[in-house]
Amino acid sequence: PAAMSRRVVRQSKFRHVFGQPVKADQMYEDIRVSKVTCDSSFCAVNPKFVAIIVESGGGGAFIVLPLAKTGRVDKNHPLVTGHTAPVLDIDWCPHNDNVIASASEDTTVMVWQIPDYVPVRNITEPVVTLEGHSKRVSIISWHPTARNVLLSAGCDNLVILWNVGTGEMLLALDDMHTDLIYNVGWNRNGSLLVTTCKDKKVRVIDPRKQRIIAHHLLAPHRPQRPAQRRVGVLGSLLTPLHHCSGPQNNFEEPIALQEMDTSNGVLLPFYDADSSIVYLCGK
């Protein structure tokens, strides 16, 4: 009977998942985080460094700090500068912990080499500058498996894939979005990408074939609760996007829909593929 009762009781696999604030000596203090209005997280981290977009006069900048050194940040700490307008997004290269890309209101994307030591002065010379957008660039994302491949998306409704090694444009997806692109994400092997757009559509795109292989029109909020924040999960966003057929990749209905609260703040989703958990951070 005892053995049977143990089998009947189902324990949640998330019982050990919880948030715990870090201690004060593990925090970074006195960082002038950028006040630019953008849906970026303003922060990127890898096994060596944390990078944060900061306030800067006369152009855009971000600060790079070693993970091993926390505490109060000197107001004269060297910055990474070079953009002529505010930086909107940053992303570390998954294949090299000393390489980071930045996107800016000045319509350019820059790739930087960060030394292991703390530089004496500002880093002002990028390894390469990528020019191809006609409006500000608000999204960048490295390809998860292919080296030197970087994606950028701008307010010109254009998605560009770059060869960072040569500085050349690999392809431009210029006829797939009718409005502002909100976010872009790769699947785990980089064969497909998914975008969200102001036109309320989620699109799954095969970049090699340069075509949309699935899309979903998001339902509007209920009029009686216009400020209600809702989070939906479509099947293909939580499964490997190798193809878009079968019940797990059905884009007709979300597999989950969670009503959050009535705040109008932006929610930033982060998906952990190992535990199948979506984390939401509110600005």
The predicted pLDDT at position 2 comes to 54
- The per-residue b/e assignment along 117-147, b for 16 or more CB within 10 angstroms, e otherwise, is eeeeeebeebebebebbeebbbbbbbbeeee
Q: CA 36 from chain center: how many Å? A: 17
In 115-176, the DSSP E strands lie at 128-131, 137-142, 149-154, 159-163, 168-173
For the segment 241-245, the average pLDDT, to the nearest whole number, is 39
Of 19-23, 132-136, 266-270, which gets the smallest average pLDDT? 266-270
Domains of the chain as residue ranges with CATH = 23-174 (2.130.10.10), 184-283 (no CATH)
| pLDDT top residue among 276 and 103 | 103
The predicted pLDDT at position 118 comes to 86
Cα 157 to Cα 257: distance, rounded to the nearest angstrom: 28
Cα 218 to Cα 197: distance, rounded to the nearest angstrom: 10
pLDDT band, very low/low/confident/very high, at 98 (cuts 50, 70, 90): very high
Taking CA atoms, 280 is separated from 61, 91, 229, 230, in Å, by 26, 19, 12, 11
Q: What is the pLDDT of residues 205-241, one digit of tens each?
A: 999 999 999 888 876 554 444 444 555 555 544 333 3
Q: What is the pLDDT of residues 173-203, one digit of tens each?
A: 998 999 999 999 999 999 999 999 999 899 9
The predicted pLDDT at position 233 comes to 57
The predicted pLDDT at position 223 comes to 43
Cα 241 to Cα 204: distance, rounded to the nearest angstrom: 9
| Beta-bridge partners for 217 | 201
- Average pLDDT over the chain reads 85
CB atoms within 10 A of CB 197: 20
For the segment 17-22, the average pLDDT, to the nearest whole number, is 85
The predicted pLDDT at position 237 comes to 44
* Highest mean pLDDT of the ranges 55-69, 121-135, 227-241: 121-135
